[in-house]
Structure 1
Amino acid sequence: MTDIERRAAAPDPTRPDLDSLPLADAGASMWQRMRLWGIAHAVDDLYQGLVPASVPYFVLDRHYGYVAASGLTLAATLGSSVPQPFLGVLVDRVRWGWLPAAGVALAGLGLGLSGLFHPYPVVWALILLSGLGVAVFHPAAGKAAREAAGDSAGAMGVFAAGGSVGFFLAPVLATPALVAWGVGATALFIPPAVLIAYVLHRNRHRHRALASAAPLRTGTDRWAPFLVLTGIEVVRSTVFFGVNTFIELYWIRHLHASRAVAGTALACFLGGGVLGTLLGGRIADRIGMVRTVQLGAVLAVPMLAGLRFLPGTLAPLLFAGLAGAALNIPFAVLVKLGQDYLPNRPGTAAGVTLGLAVSIGGLIAPAFGVLAESRGPQGVLTLLCAIPLAALGLGVLLREPEQ
């Protein structure tokens, strides 16, 4: 071989070889990778939050009844929650790097197109497809994010907080657009999904190389503590969806506040959730995951009580933010802890903790509606003050996973 041939065959030192990426480089860029997954999670969950934000405008513009409107919410919840555990099992068996990109694209296209059609069955099917896109994204993205985060709960907190940011931004971004242009403005939210899907698709080979470089996690799957953890997540989701659904009505109908103040209360609650998700990961890196889960349950009760029983319309706003933070302190920790309990099935664990357990609160929410009919939104919030005690009781049964 000539010198020219040798130089041509030698690798270019200025171009990184992703297939042999050293672990040191992977660790050095961990936070950059987690930001990407956090942004992708925010965009994906934006479409979950856009459904309840847009439903009132379907009622106004399409003249749907309340039953039809609740059917749209049910379509999104069914699409996003029920398939996720099964998709998690699939993700554990095959590595399809295109799944996160396909999921977020389907979520955005389904929701974005729904406002452009009039027939109710078509709208219902599109919102169901949007929910299915959310379901496709979560298990694959949760597994990939864990591979990028390693054993850092704080890094997983960045990924989990992305979902909270998406929920927070949905009403903030959607309401002005829907007020100005009607329900057809849902089409304005298609481009973010297409853009992040393109970025994820372009980076799928890098993610595969990083996953290959990461140490293989092995161990015995511990189903008993995982089921306990799932119960805690169901309790957390139930309270979160209950407050999210009735907090504005509580401010308007019980506290007799303006719609602007009621919207501020919802923003404080969701904004506190973002902060709590980030804070929870950092706390878990210091005191352990199980103690962090227990801490969230302990703090949730007095914060919800302050939200419900503090007089006035402005003072409870502080506790709305604190309640959101307390409820979300365990969020990222529960995702990571679930994958630690099922080291051989990270996709399944993510499908349950990010999917079924999180979304199941939306299926339980109609029961709170029945209570609100007789007791008002204040009756719902009174009941929600006590529900975190169930999470505290279950949290006592948890143990730190074996390393």
Structure 2
Amino acid sequence: MRFSARVSVVLLALGHLFNDFYCNFLPVLLPIIMPRLDLSLTLSGLLVMVMSIASNMMQPVFGFLMDRHRMSWLLIPVIPFGAICICTIGFLTTKAMLFLLIALTGLSVSAFHPLGSSLVAKVAPAGRQGQSMSLYVAGGNIGFAFAPVVIVAYTQALPLSALPWLILPSLCMMGLYAYSGLARFSTIQETSPSDRLPLRKMLRNPSVVRLNIAMGLRCWTHVAVSTFLPLLLVSAGYSAMISGTLLTLFLAGCACGGITGGMLGDRFGHKRIILGALILAVAPTAYFFTHAGTAPLSLLALFLSGAFLIASQPSSIVWAQRAMPGSAGMASGMMMGLSFGFGSLGAALTAAIADQIGLAPALLLTTLPLILSIFVAAATPYPENARTQKAETAA
């Protein structure tokens, strides 16, 4: 590498920032594109579903391939590829091309997440894997949080045809990655064949299965908040600007939680931090849904809800990677992609419930899967090899 381990982790976190920045353009661009291409609400919903499947559910597939084949070269073109797809959306003239470009944008997200986290696991300083993963996760949360604000301001000042100028940062990242030497790392995990679990055993591994269920239940609450928060506030009489600002506040809390969660996991144990974060997330989440608004306590509760909901994610990635020796890419694909895919399905169920009882009560009910996730995580066995590694590090 041309840079130190710490700088390399920062570069990967920066790439994650831009990767998630570009993937969150669609919600803001959708109201502009709908009249241009005569999209119905049904087609718009299908478009969002295509994006979710391509960007979340495909991550374990990419991770599985990266664990067995040298695919680190993808680090150089993957971010510009996604940026070009989403930033040329204003030039499309057919619905078919729109669906294709959105699917390709989602696939670029699915490719980057397991690749970036696998490389973080390889270049992280000794004993700082959780801290490094926290920085990597936080980068994505920051990019995702500020994308709507940037795109709203950009499209208000410039026409949609000027969107390709936003491709330039991705080209800078491509140059940095090409110069850094990170793309020369092998994504194939350095474990002996006897240590590597075959796919069938990985999918039956109780630690992996239960942890994925626990994180999927947590993501149900997280996805429901980030999806329906603006609608909840607008229906309560708040302006679109205030609603967007509160969503940014929630996502900023997610970024802070992402930074601190893995650091604390390195010090106190990843299972303890996951359980603690899930427990602490319940009260502020429930409080905000019963006091939604701009009162100081409500704003604090919303921020803390985001922070605690995401604080468990870095530790879950480290935990899954240790439970799946030789399959770091697939492990991170499960924790960063598949769990959010499950969360999206749960959010769809929340929407269906909201049609029957109202949005605010339906969102309050999403604290139930969050509570259930605590019990599932508590019953999940922590991998024995992780305890051995921790003891060796302490020695």
Letter in 1 for 2:207: P
Letter in 2 for 1:355: G
Alignment of 1:186-197 (within 5 A): 186-197=163-174
State how far apart, in whole Å, the 1-side matches of 2:171 and 2:292 are: 46
- Using the TM superposition, give the Cα deviation of residue 347 of structure 1 relative to its aligned residue in structure 2, in angstroms: 1.4
Q: Deviations over 1:59-84 (max 9, x none)?
A: 24444221121122112112112322
**Which residue does the alignment assign to 2:358?**
376
Matched residue SS, 2:24: helix
State how far apart, in whole Å, the 2-side matches of 1:388 and 1:312 are: 22
State how far apart, in whole Å, the 2-side matches of 1:347 and 1:38 are: 16
State how far apart, in whole Å, the 2-side matches of 1:232 and 1:53 are: 31
Contact 1:57 1:178 in 2 (8 A): no
The one of 283, 295, 300 aligned to 2:276: 295
Q: Deviations over 1:230-287 (max 9, x none)?
A: 1122112211110011111111213x22222212210110000000011101211221
Tell me which structure has the larger Cα radius of gyration.
1
Contact 2:90 2:160 in 1 (8 A): yes
Contact 1:304 1:384 in 2 (8 A): no
- Using the TM superposition, give the Cα deviation of residue 52 of structure 1 relative to its aligned residue in structure 2, in angstroms: 1.9
**Which residue does the alignment assign to 1:228?**
210
Matched residue SS, 1:306: helix
Higher mean displacement: 100-109 or 359-368 = 359-368
State how far apart, in whole Å, the 1-side matches of 2:223 and 2:184 are: 33
The one of 79, 82, 93 aligned to 1:104: 79
Aligned residues: 375
Cα 1:375–1:61 shift into 2, 3 Å: farther
State how far apart, in whole Å, the 1-side matches of 2:36 and 2:48 are: 17
State how far apart, in whole Å, the 1-side matches of 2:182 and 2:271 are: 35
**Which residue does the alignment assign to 1:306?**
287
Contact 2:191 2:325 in 1 (8 A): no
State how far apart, in whole Å, the 2-side matches of 1:236 and 1:115 are: 35
Alignment of 1:3-402 (within 5 A): 29-149=4-124, 150-152=126-128, 153-204=130-181, 208=185, 219=195, 221=197, 223-254=205-236, 256-310=237-291, 312-315=293-296, 316-401=298-383, 402=385
- Using the TM superposition, give the Cα deviation of residue 385 of structure 1 relative to its aligned residue in structure 2, in angstroms: 2.1
State how far apart, in whole Å, the 2-side matches of 1:380 and 1:277 are: 26
- Sequence identity, in percent? 24
Higher mean displacement: 189-198 or 327-336 = 189-198
Q: Deviations over 1:69-107 (max 9, x none)?
A: 112211211211232212111111112221122322221
- Using the TM superposition, give the Cα deviation of residue 216 of structure 1 relative to its aligned residue in structure 2, in angstroms: 5.9
Cα 1:70–1:151 shift into 2, 3 Å: farther
Matched residue SS, 2:87: helix
- Using the TM superposition, give the Cα deviation of residue 207 of structure 1 relative to its aligned residue in structure 2, in angstroms: 5.3
Matched residue SS, 1:115: helix
Matched residue SS, 1:41: helix
Letter in 1 for 2:240: R
- Using the TM superposition, give the Cα deviation of residue 312 of structure 1 relative to its aligned residue in structure 2, in angstroms: 4.8
Q: Which runs of 5+ in 1 are unaligned?
A: 1-17
State how far apart, in whole Å, the 1-side matches of 2:56 and 2:190 are: 30
Higher mean displacement: 262-271 or 94-103 = 94-103
State how far apart, in whole Å, the 1-side matches of 2:103 and 2:97 are: 10
TM-score (norm 1): 0.86
Cα 1:291–1:185 shift into 2, 3 Å: farther
State how far apart, in whole Å, the 2-side matches of 1:372 and 1:106 are: 37
- Using the TM superposition, give the Cα deviation of residue 193 of structure 1 relative to its aligned residue in structure 2, in angstroms: 2.2
Alpha-carbon RMSD: 2.4
Matched residue SS, 1:281: helix
Matched residue SS, 2:72: coil
Cα 1:68–1:216 shift into 2, 3 Å: same
Letter in 1 for 2:364: T
State how far apart, in whole Å, the 1-side matches of 2:295 and 2:244 are: 12
Cα 1:60–1:186 shift into 2, 3 Å: farther
- Using the TM superposition, give the Cα deviation of residue 201 of structure 1 relative to its aligned residue in structure 2, in angstroms: 2.8
Q: Deviations over 1:308-352 (max 9, x none)?
A: 112653331211111000101101111111101112111111221
Contact 1:57 1:182 in 2 (8 A): no
- Using the TM superposition, give the Cα deviation of residue 146 of structure 1 relative to its aligned residue in structure 2, in angstroms: 0.8
Contact 1:144 1:207 in 2 (8 A): no
State how far apart, in whole Å, the 2-side matches of 1:40 and 1:384 are: 32
Matched residue SS, 1:387: helix
State how far apart, in whole Å, the 2-side matches of 1:82 and 1:300 are: 25
Higher mean displacement: 240-249 or 91-100 = 91-100
Matched residue SS, 1:257: coil
Cα 1:250–1:207 shift into 2, 3 Å: same
